Amino acid sequence: MSRPERARAPAELQPETSPGHGIAADLIAVLVAVTGGEPRVLTLQDARALPSGPFELAHRSLQSGLRAWVERQTHHPLGYVEQLYTFADRDRGLGSDQRVISISYLGLTREQPAAGDYEASWQSWYLYFPWEDQRLGVPAIIDDVLLPNLTAFAEAAPNRLLRQERLNRIAVTFGLDGKPWNEELVLQRYELLYEAGLIPEARRAKPELGPAPVPSRSMVLDHRRILATGIARLRAKIKYHPVVFELLPDTFTLLQLQRCVEALAGRLVHKQNFRRLVEQQQLVEETGQMSQDTRGRPAKLFRFRREILTERAIVGTKLPISRS
Amino acid sequence: MSRPERARAPAELQPETSPGHGIAADLIAVLVAVTGGEPRVLTLQDARALPSGPFELAHRSLQSGLRAWVERQTHHPLGYVEQLYTFADRDRGLGSDQRVISISYLGLTREQPAAGDYEASWQSWYLYFPWEDQRLGVPAIIDDVLLPNLTAFAEAAPNRLLRQERLNRIAVTFGLDGKPWNEELVLQRYELLYEAGLIPEARRAKPELGPAPVPSRSMVLDHRRILATGIARLRAKIKYHPVVFELLPDTFTLLQLQRCVEALAGRLVHKQNFRRLVEQQQLVEETGQMSQDTRGRPAKLFRFRREILTERAIVGTKLPISRS
DNA sequence: TTTGATATACTCCGCCTGAGCATTAATCGA
DNA sequence: TCGATTAATGCTCAGGCGGAGTATATCAAA
């Protein structure tokens, strides 16, 4: 979104396919659910790939193709679906003649599906981006590993101007020098780490460099990049569109709602202000029942007021995410 | 964006192509420039089509494909490019076997290019959406034509619930009953008119209905829909990302900047507040020179401070658009 | 010199937002 | 039964931003 041309991960070596002409289309899904206080994403291949499949002619549209395919695989309805990005860069592998267009989607689902076939599993997305979880404060990995390495990367710049530019980029994306942490810059942070050569994807073509210094789980091809795009999109979206409710059960307490938002945003929010906004926006209504949770004062159960989707302009709801 | 499945225009009748297998990919561009106080879009085929072309294997990526193709045709550099949406609905024409994936882009360009070959021309986008220009107040077409027809559409609903829903949708999208006009709902308004059967696209399959009651220029296939998507995206974008400057000359007065924003947003802004925000955000800097325009007090010339794109987080700038 | 048009400075007020304090209502362990 | 713990809930306050209005300055042309 920010820069016109993306720094793309070089392709993994793939077996040569028979040179065909024509273009194939793939669907790639970032499927998100929140369980156990963690935002999770559906993965395949030992948690190293996002689910993907060919777009078939039988499908009515791209979205219906994705829905059909996901629901067949997870046996769960897909709540909210949104297109992420389409790319067809030449360096994605698959030989040179055969060109693949990949259309990525973000999908929200309510429950942990019975991760059906294959080696499907739900993984916390902070497994792939440990520096993105700031709920318990700034993660140690940032000060211990990322910043030293990033600073070294900046110092290694060929000239003063570029050096300054890199330092500034580090400060902006990681919230240094008094700048605030911006949880939406997931993709920018990933790209910075990529360019600095700190993650495995950036070293695939250069095995002589040795292992990547940043301990975090990688993915096949550019799937981690697509995941970063999905996280960034979702973090931005929850602020002005009530999509969080697609991740929650039908009835929930306000604290559950808050924890869900916090899990996605990777940061804590001020409880009182959060409730104030949720209620004055009339996003929820009481069910009349109380939560049966054990400890603490029992909380009222709420349900999402679906009506507001039509009542109000579809754009314009907001959820607060505090800055400090 | 709002609703998962889009109500899509049925295909125009096309000459049958030879049934091929495989999928073709097309690029469609919404190219925008602002000249003479009007936001303009590049069109072909007697102003009835958006420029589009096949995505070729030679291109490095989708964006570079689009850039190359546009710059070859307009002989002008393309400032800002952003992907809009990808679709592959089955009912877009081109026969039944051949499936086309269309990837649409929004592009901003600085000057009116020497509309090179073919029958290319720049048209005010309000030619296609006259109801979207609210700079001189609410256009007559809304009260005279749209609202009566839309109300009739609502009244014709088969049951009370649906009727109420339609009325509410009309009120939300067109800012009735005290609700504010939201200039970003371009696509929602278009879809509403489409569903109400008030525009030609909705009547292509049903010639017995006669001419469409709403006087506005139509386009081939679903191009007007894509244009609506582009306008909506741009109107949303200018509020938090400094892309307007891609449409202005290198130096400009604050009034020029304001008029440009107003042209895009289709509404007027409060001059003093506009300047306050622009300056406190440090979006521009003085050139030291003055405008040579004749009438009125001469204005200072400014230039865009490109540095802020790196200085600040890429997200988070804002331009004001007043509500009344 | 007047008029018209624009640029520019300053003020005011209401609302939103971030932040903190205090109180209530339940469970659990000693 | 009491105190500790956990959570829900109510209330206040200050700063900032955004919308709107008033007033003044500066030019060209009639």
Q: Look at residue B231 and tell me if it is in a domain.
A: no
CA gap B155, B133 in Å, rounded: 27
- CA B249 to chain centroid: 21
CA distance A62 to chain B (A): 6
Best residue of B70, B80, B82, B87 to probe chain A, by most A CBs closer than 10 Å: B87
Question: In terms of domains, do A178 and A248 share one?
Answer: no
- Residues B151 and B194 reside in one and the same domain: yes
Closest CA to A96 of A168, A149, A21: A21
A61 vs B22, B87, B185: nearest CB: B87
Q: Which residue is it, tokens 């190219």?
A: B31
Give Cβ neighbours of residue B138 (< 8 Å, ≥ 6 apart): none
Q: How far apart are CA B189 and CA B182, in angstroms?
A: 10
A38-59: average pLDDT: 86
Report which of residues B78 and A319 the model is more confident about.
B78
Structure tokens at A127: 């497994």
Is B254 inside any structural domain? yes
Domain holding B276, by residue range, is: 247-311
> Which H or E run includes A179?
none
Q: Are residues A99 and A195 in the same domain?
A: no
Residue A57 and residue A113 in one domain? yes
DSSP string, A104-166: EEEEE-SS-----STT-EEEEGGGT-GGG--TTSS-HHIIIIIHHHHHHHHHT-SSHHHHHHH
The structure tokens listed for A23 are 């273009």
Rg, C-alpha atoms of chain B: 21
Residues A265 and A300 in one domain: yes
Q: Tell me, rounded to whole angstroms, the distance of Cα B204 from its chain centroid.
A: 23
The DSSP code for B126 is G
**Residue the block writes with tokens 């959406």:** B129
The answer to whether residue B132 is domain-embedded is: no
The domain tally of chain B equals 3
Reduced DSSP (H G I as helix, E B as strand, rest coil) percent helix, strand, coil of chain B, to 5:
35, 20, 45
- Checking each nucleotide's C1' against the CA of A279, the nearest proves to be D9
Please tell me the predicted confidence (pLDDT) of residue A88. Answer: 80
B86, HSE (Cβ side, Cα atoms, 13 Å): 27
Q: Do B109 and B70 share a structural domain?
A: yes
Quick one: A121 and A201 in the same domain? no
CA nearest A100: which of B29, B318, B101? B101
Dihedral sign for Cα atoms in the order A306, A125, A227, A27: negative
Between CA A171 and CA A157 the distance in angstroms is 16
Please indicate, yes or no, if residue B101 is contained in any of the structural domains: yes
Name the residue with tokens 């589009």.
Answer: B52
Nearest to A23 among B25, B86, B97 (CB): B25
Do residues A247 and A303 both lie within one domain?
yes
A182 vs B80, B103, B315: nearest CB:
B315
| A146 is a domain residue | yes
| Residues (137-176, chain A) with CB within 7 Å of strand D atoms | none
Please give the average pLDDT of every successive group of 10 residues along chain B, which has 324 residues: 32 30 80 93 92 76 81 79 86 58 92 65 95 94 96 96 94 91 94 94 79 86 95 93 92 92 94 91 88 76 88 62 48
User: Taking phi first (over 0 means left), then psi (-120 to 50 degrees means alpha), and beta for anything else, what does residue A251 get?
Assistant: beta
B180 touches strand D (CB under 7 A): no
CATH of the domain at A61: 3.90.79.10
B323 touches strand D (CB under 7 A): yes
Task: Give the Cα separation of A106 and A30 in Å (integer).
Answer: 5
* B157 and B203 co-located in one domain: yes
Q: Check if A38 contacts B (Cβ < 8 Å).
A: no
Q: Is residue A221 part of a domain?
A: no
- Contact (CB, 8 A) for B61 and A90: yes
Closest alpha carbon within chain A to B181? A313
Within a domain: A319: no
Q: Which of the listed ranges A18-32, A246-260, B75-89 does the model predict with the highest average pLDDT?
A: A246-260
Average pLDDT across chain A, whole number: 83
Residues from chain B that touch A88, judged by Cβ atoms under 8 A, are 25, 55, 61-62
- Domain-terminating residue out of A93, A127, A161: A127
pLDDT of the residue at A259: 94
Whether A122 and A154 map to the same domain: the answer is no
| Predicted confidence (pLDDT) at residue A67 exceeds the cutoff of 90 | no
Longest dimension (CA), chain B: 66
Q: Kindly indicate the confidence band of residue A21, based on its pLDDT and cuts at 50, 70 and 90.
A: very low
Looking at the fold, whether A119 and A144 belong to one and the same domain comes out as: no
B299 phi/psi in degrees, rounded to 5: -105, 150
Residue type, B166: R
Closest CA to B114 of B73, B153, B155: B73
Looking at CA atoms only, how far is residue B281 from chain A in angstroms?
15
Point out the domain boundary residue: A88, A106, A127: A127
Nearest CA to A202 out of A192, A150, A125 is that of: A192
What is the per-residue pLDDT for B84?
A: 96
Q: What does the pLDDT average to over A23-27?
A: 82
Contacts of A58 by beta carbon, 8 Å cutoff, 6+ apart: none
What does the alpha-carbon distance between residue A9 and residue A1 come to, in Å, rounded to a whole number? 17
| Mean pLDDT value across residues A185-192 | 96
B90 at interface of A, judged by CB pairs closer than 8 A? yes
Helices (H), chain B: 62-74, 140-141, 147-155, 160-174, 186-195, 223-237, 254-265, 271-280, 308-311
Between residues A285 and B74, which one has the greater pLDDT? A285
Which residues on B lie below 8 Å from A307 (Cβ)?
none
Say yes or no to pLDDT of A97 above 80.
no
Is the CB of A55 less than 8 angstroms away from the CB of B1?
A: no
DSSP A33-71: EEETTEEEEEEBTTTTB--EEEPPTT-SSHHHHHHHHHH
Q: Which of A10, A203, A200, A205 minimizes the C-alpha distance to A90? A: A10
A179 touches strand C (CB under 7 A): no
- Rounded Cα distance between A165 and A154, Å, is 8
Q: Which of B172, B199, B216 lies at the terminal end of a domain, its last residue? A: B216
Kindly report the CATH number assigned to the domain that includes residue B277.
1.10.10.10
Residues 243-262 of B with CB under 8 A from A: none
| DSSP designation for B143 | I
Give the DSSP per-residue string, A77-120.
---EEEEEEEE--GGGSS-SSSEEEEEEEEEE-SS-----STT-
Q: Is A173 inside any structural domain?
A: yes
Residue with tokens 């400094």: B242
Sorted by sequence, the CB contacts under 8 Å of residue A211 that are 6+ apart come out as: A200, A203
Q: Between chains, do A5 and B311 touch, taking CB under 8 Å as contact? A: no
Q: How far apart are CA A111 and CA A42, in angstroms?
A: 12
Kindly state the average pLDDT of the residues A278-299.
84
Non-local (6+) Cβ contacts of B314 within 8 A are A1, A2, A185, A188, B241
One-letter amino acid identity for B269? V
Residue B116 and residue B155 in one domain: no
